[in-house]
Structure 1
Amino acid sequence: MLIGEPYWRREVPDQETAKSCGASGKDAFLLLPELIEQFGDLGFDIVEMVLADQDSWDRYQAAQWLNLRRWLDDHPDDELAGEVRAELATEPARYTRYQREHLGWGVFALMGR
């Protein structure tokens, strides 16, 4: 099983910061050690783990925004175009202001026990 999961890079200072990262609250994501323990509690062994550092995750995020922009250029009249346009207008600034500082990202390969 392959799981992509965000985790808090450090203790989140308040609910407002958590919500600005797109989370429902401070408990929405775990710190990395707690996340790994949770996989074990669910009966899985981690057999591989790839964590994105801030620079490599920035490249991933930027590629997503480029893909959204290209899609929008090709489908300007699609029913989702307004939603995509709104996301492109707000997400890059929100990401750099909050997510980059507080969230980390990992891809975990798991095997059942």
Structure 2
Amino acid sequence: MEDSEPGISRRPSIYYRPISPNDLDRLEQIHRDIFPIKYESEFFQSVVNGVGIVSWAAVDRSRPDGYSDELIGFVTAKFVLAKESEIDDLIGYDSSQGEETLIYILTH
């Protein structure tokens, strides 16, 4: 069976890689397109430079040359101490017990 549109793969090959400074413009564009909240430029700089934020880029390796490493999705997260989070308000967790570390997903 042939594709209805030539040059478009029906099976994307999604891979994840660390976000890099080269992703800055595309990351900001995706955020503007899908999130109603405007993020400050410092947030994006922290994401692409890995300052306090863990970030991964999703890329579709089946795209034509020149676009196979372009950011199509992402996840950003940070580690926080449970006692410094608001989790106790959310689920009744007693954050004063121990030094548990949580991962907080910022955007995806």
TM-score, length-normalised on structure 1? 0.24
Relative contact order, CA 8 A, sep 6+: which one is greater? 1
Q: Which of the two has higher C-alpha Rg?
A: 2
Q: TM-score, normalised by structure 2?
A: 0.24
